[in-house]
């Protein structure tokens, strides 16, 4: 997939692997490139891109990017853990865009408010 810095080192919620220091890593830049390929239907092929979009449309945690954009279609994926909150996605505004928010060791409530405000401003 062309990812250099994004690494899947353990399954989610695998506490034993986490205790051994294994952590999954991603960069907003690389995820943004993948989302752009999905948007353009060029990630693997059109069908795979469409299948991924179908999954992203079904995201049920919607208090971040979509929070202030209730009438807008958004294909996105969130991530949460202690001191971590992420949301990456495609926002189908009048001028569609890809946006990727990632945090680590952050004040989750403050960062999520920032995600909502920036997403709203970008969608104007």
Distances (CA, A) of 78 to 32, 39, 45, 81: 14, 17, 24, 11
Distances (CA, A) of 63 to 11, 55, 66: 25, 18, 6
- CATH assignment, 15-123: 3.40.710.10
Q: Tell me which residue of 121, 111, 123 sits closest to 64, measured CA to CA.
A: 111
pLDDT, tens digit, for every residue of 2-49?
889 999 999 988 989 989 999 889 999 999 999 999 999 999 999 999
This model's pTM is above 0.85 = yes
pLDDT, tens digit, for every residue of 91-117?
999 999 999 999 999 999 999 999 999
pLDDT, tens digit, for every residue of 49-84?
999 999 999 999 999 999 999 999 999 999 998 899
Q: Tell me which residue of 85, 84, 68 sits closest to 122, measured CA to CA.
A: 68
């Amino acid at each position: 997939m062309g990812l250099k810095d994004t690494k899947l080192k353990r399954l989610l919620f695998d506490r034993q692997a986490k205790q051994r220091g294994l952590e999954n890593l991603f960069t907003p830049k690389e995820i943004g490139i993948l989302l752009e390929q999905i948007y353009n239907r060029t990630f693997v092929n059109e069908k795979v891109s469409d299948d991924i979009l179908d999954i992203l449309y079904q995201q049920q945690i919607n208090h971040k990017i979509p929070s202030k954009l209730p009438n807008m279609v958004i294909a996105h994926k969130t991530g949460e853990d202690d001191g971590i909150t992420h949301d990456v996605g495609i926002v189908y505004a009048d001028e569609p865009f890809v946006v990727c928010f990632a945090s680590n060791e952050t004040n989750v409530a403050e960062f999520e408010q920032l995600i909502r405000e920036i997403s709203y401003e970008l969608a104007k």
